[in-house]
Structure 1
């Protein structure tokens, strides 16, 4: 009797596979080797139960020449901790030397690129974060408000891994700053970001991201941020060498305050270092 029931259940399971096309749903992985392209968020997520310790380091401007040892005498950095909670949800915190900012964010993907049964051809994710400027007040004699230190950003990330070699994503973004320096500057800045990855070898890939600002650009003062880099995967590390015209390394900073441009050679060399730690035992399935 038990044998008959088992065989009937097995037949039913096989029929269900036939009805659904005979394939199970599989989520696409490794669209990017990091949860960030260079500056901006990527469509990639950390595995549940993992922590990514990230160090982002950027030197001074190359065009200053030997006086500043081609930028190596200066440096700014961001140190962060990112945590994978679920397959499609992660959070993170960080601290930057640029304006001594603290930041935190979450990233969630209601739809992820997959193959097989009920598949979807791309990933759609949202990211939202907050930054806090902890620098001393410019004028401590006036009545300063804590809320003036805060800024927020909201992003929609839409991307697709087209092949094992190529990934492309678009990132519409809004940055809201509670207090701006001049009344002519907008509190809300809108931008469209683009990020891409081209895999060259098993462990090396070209990456790049660019954000085009639709408002908030001050002629001769601020510019659109562009970064180009090389990812080198070494076991549990992802080491990224890059060039960028942005100094800041969170969304408020690199979108609102990129004050140098590629056309004049005002770019900075830098590197991002990522080390992933397994904090929780991996589940048997990734569903």
Structure 2
């Protein structure tokens, strides 16, 4: 009887020690640190629109963006190369999480300024978080003279504003996706029937093809439309090529403009009808 009791006690102690050893192993293997996910996209743009990426603290980036005319204009305009829209911009990392930018576009002679703040970072490890969230806000002013002699817009009437929430996730080293709810407001409109406020939803993604090359796609669906223009939704495909301090993007898009207020709500080209603009973004970081 005593031997049987001692045997059961020995078995119980062995099972307890085995369970404790298992818990110790699991505890040792559990991640104790948290790491932020980086390089969700190669640059600060997916194609026309902003990506979740910011400039690092005290980094200055110079960006040249160029869009040619429509390729379906034919040989006479050298498939759009005779026409062009260009934008120069400077972007500065105030902190790792806050970027400010200023730009000027030849289209409608628009000046734009923006702030982009990284609100939440995607994280892995002990305190993981599945997505990254940034806030984006911009203001633009159209300085082109009015073609209507009876209409001379005031400073306030030339202004427009954009607010966006950038929500992104890096699913793997090769795949990143972004969702971009967008609000556009114009202080003045061409027709009374035109909405001052337009809501849109952007979709973007990147597939990494190599160590320094990726394929990007971007689409914005506008829920409200202008009555003064026959508009279409903005669609763009691009290739990112990273070379040291440069990120070179080759882009095909039905939008000729490169600021949110314009390409999201004022695009008129049909991508699949041949209204495609060849373009590029070149950035240099200092």
Q: What interval of TM-score do these two structures reach, taking the shorter chain for normalisation? A: 0.7 to 0.9
Alignment of 1:1-287 (within 5 A): 22-139=31-148, 144-218=153-227, 221-277=230-286
Question: Aligned with 1:162: secondary structure?
Answer: strand
Q: Which entry has the higher C-alpha Rg, 1 or 2?
A: 2
Further displaced range: 252-261 or 190-199: 252-261
- Are the equivalent residues in 1 in contact too, given 2:179–2:202 (CA < 8 A)? yes
How many residue pairs match? The answer is 260
Rounded Cα–Cα distance in structure 2 between residues aligned with 1:71 and 1:136:
25
Instruction: Provide closer, same or farther for how the CA distance between residues 219 and 138 of structure 1 changes in structure 2, counting only shifts above 3 A.
Output: closer
Rounded Cα–Cα distance in structure 1 between residues aligned with 2:150 and 2:181:
39
Instruction: Provide closer, same or farther for how the CA distance between residues 22 and 143 of structure 1 changes in structure 2, counting only shifts above 3 A.
Output: closer
Instruction: Provide closer, same or farther for how the CA distance between residues 219 and 103 of structure 1 changes in structure 2, counting only shifts above 3 A.
Output: closer
Shift of residue 219 of structure 1? 9.7
Instruction: Provide closer, same or farther for how the CA distance between residues 85 and 71 of structure 1 changes in structure 2, counting only shifts above 3 A.
Output: same
- Are the equivalent residues in 2 in contact too, given 1:237–1:273 (CA < 8 A)? yes
Question: Aligned with 1:86: secondary structure?
Answer: coil
Q: In the alignment, what sits opposite 1:280? A: none
Question: Aligned with 2:156: secondary structure?
Answer: helix
Shift of residue 47 of structure 1? 1.1
Rounded Cα–Cα distance in structure 1 between residues aligned with 2:197 and 2:219:
19
Question: Aligned with 2:94: secondary structure?
Answer: strand
Shift of residue 23 of structure 1? 2.7
Q: In structure 2, list runs of 5 or more residues that go unmatched.
A: 1-26
Rounded Cα–Cα distance in structure 2 between residues aligned with 1:147 and 1:234:
42
State the superposition RMSD in angstroms: 1.8
Question: Aligned with 1:228: secondary structure?
Answer: strand
